[in-house]
Amino acid sequence: MTHTPLPITESPLSFASRLARWWRGGDAQPAKRVQFDRPLTPWVFLLPQLAVVVIFFYWPSVQAVTSSFYIEDPFGFGSTFVGLENYTEVLSNNEYRSTAGFTLFFGIVVTALSLGFGLLLAVKADKVIRGASAYKTVLISVYAIAPPVAALIGMMLFDMHIGPFTELAALFGYDLKVGVNYRDTVFALITIAVWKQIPYNFIFFLSGLQSVPVSVREAALIDARSGWRRFVDVTLPLLAPTAFFLLIINVTYALFDTFGIIDVIVKDKPANNPITLVYKVYLDGFKGNDIGSSSAQSVILMVLVTVLTVVQFRYLERRVHYG
Amino acid sequence: MAQITLKGVGKTYAGGVQAVSDVNLDVIDREFVVLVGPSGCGKSTLLRMVAGLEEISQGEIAIGPRVVNRLEPAERDIAMVFQNYALYPHMSVRENMAYGLKNRKTPKSEIEARVAQAARMLELGPYLDRKPRALSGGQRQRVAMGRAIVRQPAAFLFDEPLSNLDAKLRVSMRGEIRKLQRRLGTTSLYVTHDQLEAMTLADRLVVLNGGQIEQVGSPLEVYHAPASTFVAAFIGAPAMNLLDAYIEGGRVKLEGHDMGLVALPDGPITLGIRAEDLSIGTQGLPVTLDYVEELGANRIVHCFAGGQRLALIQPPEAPLSEHMTLRARPQALHLFDTTRGARLVAPATRIPEPVA
Amino acid sequence: MQKINPLDHLILILGALFLIAPVVLAVMSSTHSAIAIHTGGLFLLPGSDGYETYHKVLTAKGGFTGNVTGARMLMNSMIMGVGFAVGKIVLSMMAAYALVYFRFRLATLFFWIIFTTLLLPLEVRIMPSYQVMSKLHLLNTYTGLIVPLLASATGTFYFRQFFKSVPDELLEAARIDAAGPFKFFIDILVPLSRTMIAAIFIIMFVYGWNQYLWPILMTTDESFFTLMRGIKAILQVWVGSQIPDYNEAFALAVLAMIPPVLVVVIFQRMFIKGLTESDK
């Protein structure tokens, strides 16, 4: 019962003593009230992870930032420092802007649709007692499918010769040309991306719904007659933490994890085809060999993701109170 | 077997919070000492300092002849029983008990013998190969005890070992712990917030408040001569009535009524009277009845004396009325300093000897 | 109890159909011949050419890529999935142990060094990562395929959360029982984390198996191709062919999805628990 009490009044510390405490690792609340106090042992455990992180995370990240300030000679004969030129060039480039526009649109639509469908199915499945586990199994197996595999199957469904979707559209007199017509390709990309992501949202929403205490459900049953009111007034607020968490995850998914889907559908032929910012980093870097520009784009994305994650962390802290 | 000596022991946390200050205590060999107090009084911190799980900020702790301030918990020759038992969930009962001995390179045959003996003592024989999750709360508690016993340490440290059990089991385990400690004769330091548990177990009680010792003494000493209003209110149920009174011309006045003679200068005091020391009489302190709590064997009668609440214990057949007058023997009056809370005069009553 | 109306059932059934139909179509069509698919579209019922197609995809050199067999890609994917999961568990358990159970200099700094990696997915630093790999001569190696992916701290984060939830008293009891840091880790903490390890293994296996971008960058030597890389190769061959090998493409897709789907379905309970509880 006696936990280390939090310091109630913190005496004002000088910067130096604060720094000294931080150096000792003593400024955060310790994770355990008793810890091993050995100077060297933790290094043994920490070193492998640190090595991997430094070599494969920090080194490339720093490299991305530095090369974003240089223009590299395409034949590999050195590079020239150009300051912010890569950035200004990227940001004023029309193609980049339209890619950014599409990425935003794609992110919003995919997030909204997959969250919406995930929630709808979870709410319905939560009510069903029999068959719920079979249902879960179906959805979770879709979750395990890799994005490029999903895209390959999707590509067949939208194939101009054999695709059932194309045939379906033809019944309504529409000539669906995925990979040729920009709008049709966007439609296919969104459908596949949403299809792949619904199960993930479903799993989280369902587990969120099932963790609503029975007593709360029963209280709501007594207090509100209409099912819709109960849902809006009781269930939805309790799901809010889950929903916010999923929102961030879905945005990240739409921005990054859809790489495989886009690569399969667009097949390295970006001309007149929709691509996202991440795909453009890849294209400019590997196909276009424009390392400076690709790096600048990487850094812009890094800033974007950092902002997203900071929002997420701040929220996760707050989430404790939902409790 | 050993004695435990605490000299000027204190604990200051990083933020400057003083959890324990200047504790001096001698636990003699084979003695059962209970640290008791409300939550946050520093009793667990003190115990954990003895165990080596908290650093000692000030002072010195010795177990037997050795000062243990700088020793690891494993080197202090103590065993500890935790509130949540802290059994290793993936090990069987046998492995749980043997783990500490194994790490100390005790010979296999010796480990087996000791585990078998402890199991016999605690009636755990049939459960030796079970995992803790297959045991009831009481059985887990026994395993935790067994883990301590097999070590044959210099001292047992108990950190609220019974508070996770239901009321009935708690009472029976209490008795078992007491008997076991007598039988093994191992010096024990026991922490609890339950004053009844403290009273029934202890050779000596240490009442702690705000990180400091309020009183050390046998259960009956502490009960009959509480050293402060804090101890008076904490030990005993129902709590001792503590009333605002004053002294006038060598007499104690409560709500204007004369309660008896004392040799103290005039001024306000706090008057303490235990509920069982009050009786209903034909004359005395006038009170009005508030409500009655029935306990079966007796009842607790809550009254108002003027604006102050007080309680008395009455047999169930005693007649009650809206207005009554109460009396107390002069020896049953406890006088405390109103501002400091300290006891003012030595007890007049003879404290009964404990029955061995 | 709440009643369930027919509309709810309809929504559920439609949802399930929408999600599962493409998978069924892929599996069924993979058992028909390319020509049948080319003329008749996709199939909802099994055909008779399944054995032949899968046999060819698994054993025939060439196929879409030139000289790598499906079996080889299957093996590479397995190495990738298992290697990644095991590596992740070992590294992150050790690091989380150091961060949770030790008081030491710079602990806070290392906490941030490790957890900053959660900020940036691999995708935003592919180009420089590729350059680093090439400098280290790790292109076309299993090390190069697996180890860089271990740089993200997700596993460390999960284990840290888990370790923090382990009762403090267990360590205290162990210290009184004379267990040092290594003993406590091996004797108590690792066995205690079994369920957690299994859950993370499943999540990470699926993640590793499904990696696409990194294998594309890291492997030009076909003997290191994973199934995901194979899918990319199909598409590259496809361009310009008269009747694409739909059946073989489907077969490869089915091979690529069976292991992760099986693992996830079999260990469903554990998987969901690991997924939804470790985010907190």
Name all domains of chain A by residue range, CATH numbers in brackets: 88-322 (1.10.3720.10)
For CATH 3.40.50.300, the residue range(s) in chain B are 4-229
Chain A residues 277-316 with CB within 8 Å of chain C: 278, 281-282, 285-286, 291, 294-295, 298, 301-302, 305-306, 309
CATH code, B4-229: 3.40.50.300
Cβ neighbour number for residue A213 with a 10 Å cutoff: 9
Q: Which two tokens stand for residue C92?
A: 């992150």
Are residues C191 and B90, on separate chains, in Cβ contact within 8 Å?
A: yes
- Distance CA(A60)–CA(B26), nearest Å, equals 63
Length of chain A: 323
Q: Please tell me the total count of domains within chain C.
A: 1
User: What's the angle, vertex CA C54, arms to CA C53 and CA C55, rounded to 5?
Assistant: 90
Tell me how many residue pairs between chain B and chain C have CB atoms under 8 A apart: 57
- CA distances for B306 relative to B310, B333, C241, angstroms: 10, 18, 105
Q: Is C203 helix (H, G, I), strand (E, B) or coil?
A: helix
B17 and A2 within 8 Å at the Cβ level: the answer is no
Q: Tell me the per-residue pLDDT of B38-65, one tens digit each, with 9 for 90 and over.
A: 998 999 999 999 999 999 999 999 999 9
In a domain, C124, yes or no: yes
Q: What is the pLDDT of residue A75?
A: 66
| Residue whose tokens read 């897709």 | C253
pLDDT score of A127 more than 90? no
Residue range(s) defining the domain that contains residue C53: 6-277
Nearest CA in chain C to A117: C15
- Whether A26 and B17 lie within 8 Å, measured CB to CB: no
Of B218, B191, B195, B196, nearest to B205 (Cα)? Answer: B218
3-state secondary structure of A188: helix
State residue B136 phi and psi, 5-degree precision: -80, 170
| B48 contact A CB<8A | yes
- Decide if C194 is inside a domain: yes
CATH 2.40.50.140 residue ranges for chain B: 240-336
**Are the C-beta atoms of A255 and A235 separated by less than 8 Å?**
no
In a domain, C27, yes or no: yes
How far apart, in whole angstroms, are the C-alpha atoms of residue A266 and residue A261?
A: 8
In this prediction, residue A17 carries a pLDDT of 56
Q: In this model, does residue A28 exceed pLDDT 70?
A: no
In this predicted model, what pLDDT tens digit does every residue of A272-317 receive, in sequence order?
788 999 999 888 888 877 888 888 999 998 888 888 777 766 665 5
Centre a 10 Å sphere on the Cβ of residue C166 and count the other Cβ atoms it contains: 18
Does residue A125 contact residue A208 with C-beta atoms inside 8 Å?
no
- β strands within B143-284, DSSP E: 155-159, 187-192, 204-209, 212-217, 241-248, 251-254, 257-261, 267-273, 278-281
Q: What is the pTM of this model?
A: 0.85
Closest CA to C144 of C161, C129, C123, C128: C129
Angstrom distances, CA of residue B353 to CA of B193, B218, B350, C63, C189: 25, 10, 9, 98, 51
pLDDT of residue A14 exceeding 70: no
Residue C167 in any domain: the answer is: yes
* Angle between helical axes of A291-322 and A59-67 (0-180°, round to 10): 130
Most C CBs within 10 Å, among B54, B55, B77, B88, to test the C interface: B88
> A226-265, pLDDT tens digit by residue?
878 888 888 888 888 788 888 888 988 898 889 999 998 8
Please report the pLDDT score of residue B102 as a whole number: 94
pLDDT digits (tens, 9 = 90+) for B275-324: 999 999 888 899 999 999 999 999 999 999 988 999 999 998 888 899 99
Chain C from 151 to 210: CB within 8 A of any A CB: 151-153, 156, 160, 163-164, 168, 171-172, 175, 181-182, 185, 206, 209-210
Taking contacts as CB-CB distances below 8 angstroms, the residues of chain A near B13 are 4-5, 7
- CATH code of the region B240-336: 2.40.50.140
HEC readout, C157-190: HHHHHHHHHCCHHHHHHHHHCCCCHHHHHHHHHH
Sequence-ordered list of residues with C-beta below 8 angstroms from that of C81, at least 6 positions apart, any chain: C205, C206, C208, C209, C259, C260
B287 residue type, one letter: V
Are A7 and B17 in contact (CB < 8 Å)? yes
The amino acid occupying position A197 is Q
Q: How far apart are the first and last CA of chain C?
A: 30
The rounded distance, in Å, linking the Cα atoms of A234 and B104 is 57
Give the pLDDT band (50/70/90) at residue C239: low
Q: Which of C74, C80, C125 to mutate to probe the A interface, most A CBs <10 Å?
A: C125
User: B266: which 2 tokens?
Assistant: 């005039």
* Residue C263 maps to a domain: yes
- Using an 8 Å CB-CB cutoff, list chain C residues near B99: 174, 177, 179, 187
Q: Which residues contact A252 (CB under 8 A, 6 or more apart)?
A: A305, A308, C121
- Hey, is the C-beta of B19 within 8 angstroms of any chain A C-beta? yes
Which has the closest alpha carbon to C61: C240, C253, C242, C230?
A: C230
Considering CB atoms only, which of B17, B53, B83 is closest to A5?
A: B17
Condensed to tens digits (0 to 9), the pLDDT of residues C89-134 reads 999 999 999 999 998 878 888 888 888 887 778 888 888 888 899 9
- Do the beta carbons of residue B111 and residue B102 sit within 8 Å? yes
Q: Which long-range contacts (CB under 8 A, 24 or more apart) does B98-103 make?
A: B98/B150, B99/B147, B99/C174, B99/C177, B99/C179, B99/C187, B100/B147, B100/B150, B100/B151, B100/C176, B100/C177, B100/C178, B101/B150, B101/B151, B103/B74, B103/C177, B103/C178, B103/C179, B103/C183
Strands, E assignment, A143-253: none
Give the separation between CA A257 and CA A193, rounded to whole angstroms: 9
A43 CB neighbours in chain C (<8 A) are 98, 104
| Residue C1 in domain | no
Contacts with B127 (C-beta within 8 Å, 6 or more apart), sequence order: B93, B134, B135, B139, B143
Task: Nearest chain B residue to C173 by CA: give it.
Answer: B86
| Out of A198-202, B351-355, C53-57, least confident range | B351-355
> Mind listing the pLDDT tens digit for each residue in B127-179?
999 999 999 999 999 999 999 999 999 999 999 999 988 989 999 999 999 99
Q: Is A142 on the interface with C (CB under 8 A)?
A: yes
Distances (CA, A) of A148 to A258, C228, C257: 8, 7, 10
Q: Which of A297-301, B5-9, B243-247, C221-225 has the lowest mean pLDDT?
A: C221-225
Task: Provide the token pair at B256.
Answer: 């204007």
Nearest to B103 among C170, C172, C179 (CB): C179
Percent of chain A topping pLDDT 70 = 84
- For residue C276 the two structure tokens come to 């939804």
> What would the DSSP string read from start to end of B28-73?
PTT-EEEEE-STTSSHHHHHHHHHTSS---EEEEEETTEE-TTS-G
Helices (H), B185-284: 195-201, 219-224, 229-234
**C175 vs B83: CB contact, 8 Å cut-off?**
no
Residue with token string 């020793």: B71
B20 close to B42: Cβ distance less than 8 angstroms: yes
Q: Give the separation between CA B234 and CA B227, rounded to whole angstroms.
A: 11
CB-CB under 8 Å, C181 with A36: yes
CA dihedral C118, C184, C164, B140 (to 10 degrees): 150
Average pLDDT over residues A79-108: 90
- The answer to whether the CB of A65 falls within 8 A of the CB of A297 is no
CATH number at residue C230: 1.10.3720.10
Q: Is the confidence at residue A209, as pLDDT, over 70?
A: yes
The yes-or-no verdict on residue A21 having pLDDT over 60 is no
